[in-house]
Structure 1
Amino acid sequence: MNKSFYILFLFITNSVYGQSDQKYWDNWNKNYPEVDIVSILKQEKLYADSIEKNPAIPRYYSRLDNYRFKAVYLGKTRATSQEVITSMKNVYKLFTGNASRLDGMIESEVLFKIGQEETWMPVQPQILEALKKEVKKGNMLTVYCLHFNEHNSKNILYNTFLISEFYK
């Protein structure tokens, strides 16, 4: 009797909470709009340059957003620099108030090619494991990222993409 009840319980919970692959990706796609990231990065650079040339405009600005875009996986990994971590925490604190949520999430970054540029992108540890297991160097992926944009008072522009998910 106990075994039958357990099997029935598993069946019911899986049918209630389970979701199809399509529904899974539909949810991600809804929350991470697809963008032309090359154009966005060009606009961010132009805006930073214009601020740096006009001393009347405050130097510091930041933005936090969700994006998805195509990138080529180049297969290299390195530790995330303290400067990038600090920038991400600055932005996250401004928009959410709790930068400690990023602790343990931004230890490593992976090299991608976006357009003609190579870009290091921090990656959550569980996603890094999946990348290494499932993706080969040179594969084109759709990456789902939290974009941290910070132009600090030292005129350094950070455009950092924390990878939250990917799709081959």
Structure 2
Amino acid sequence: MAAIDSDDRNSDATIRKGFLIQPKPFYSAIRVEYTGKSRAISSERISLFAASQSSLGVDAKVLTLLKDEYLFRECDKEYWIPVQKQVAAFFPKELKPGYKITLYLMAVGGVRLNGKWNSVFLVNEFKKY
């Protein structure tokens, strides 16, 4: 997974209050390991989702689909990635820690924390193997 470099210049993205908002949908699929760990989405990421929703004129109801982010492992790196509630509802039924899955996600943008840009993605679907 690529991170947003603080030196990146993207004319399509909008930087606003420490947020980088991606206006055009960018979808991707990545193969990761499910760890089974989750936590509430951080306030910085919730703020990015709200700023993105507001800037792009997306229905505010989409924010109600967000609650938790899950820890996934890709090779030797770990990532906390927000997952839509309706997708996460299937995790305990279909997955166990250590399962290899494909995540279908979209780039939302990034948040600047401690002087460094952190990419933010949103999981829309998954496939187990």
Superposition TM-score, scaled by structure 2 size: 0.76
Aligned residue for 1:126, secondary structure, equals helix
Report the CA distance between 1:150 and its aligned residue: 2.4
> Which residue in 1 is equivalent to 2:95?
135
Question: Which structure has the higher relative contact order (CA within 8 Å, separation 6+)?
Answer: 2
Q: Which runs of 4+ in 1 moved over 3 A?
A: 151-156
* 1:78 corresponds to: 39
* Identity over aligned pairs, percent: 25
As a proportion of its length, which structure holds more helix?
Answer: 1
Cα distance change, pair 99–87 in 1 and its aligned pair in 2 (3 A): farther
Q: Pairwise mapping of residues 1-168 of structure 1 onto structure 2 (< 5 A)?
A: 38=1, 40-41=2-3, 44-45=4-5, 48=6, 50=7, 60=15, 61-63=20-22, 64-94=25-55, 96-98=56-58, 100-152=60-112, 155-168=115-128
How far apart, CA to CA, are the structure 1 residues paired with 2:96 and 2:113? 39
Query: Runs of 5+ in structure 1 lacking a partner?
Result: 1-37, 52-58
Alpha-carbon distance in structure 2 between the residues aligned to 1:126 and 1:138: 21
How many aligned residue pairs are there?
Answer: 117
> Does structure 2 retain, via aligned residues, the 8 Å contact 1:87–1:158?
no
Structure-1-length-normalised TM-score: 0.60
Residue in structure 1 matched with residue 11 of structure 2 by the alignment: none
Q: In angstroms, what is the RMSD of aligned CA positions? A: 2.4
CA distance in 1, matches of 2:32, 2:121: 12
Q: 1:54-77, CA deviations, whole angstroms, 9 ceiling, x for partnerless residues? A: xxxxx9343242111111101001
What 5-or-longer segments of structure 2 have no aligned partner?
9-13
**C-alpha offsets along residues 91-119 of structure 1, whole Å, 9 cap, x if unaligned?**
3433x313613221111111101232111
Shift of residue 156, structure 1, vs aligned partner: 4.4
Q: How far apart are the structure 2 equivalents of 1:93 and 1:67?
A: 23
SS at match of 2:66: coil
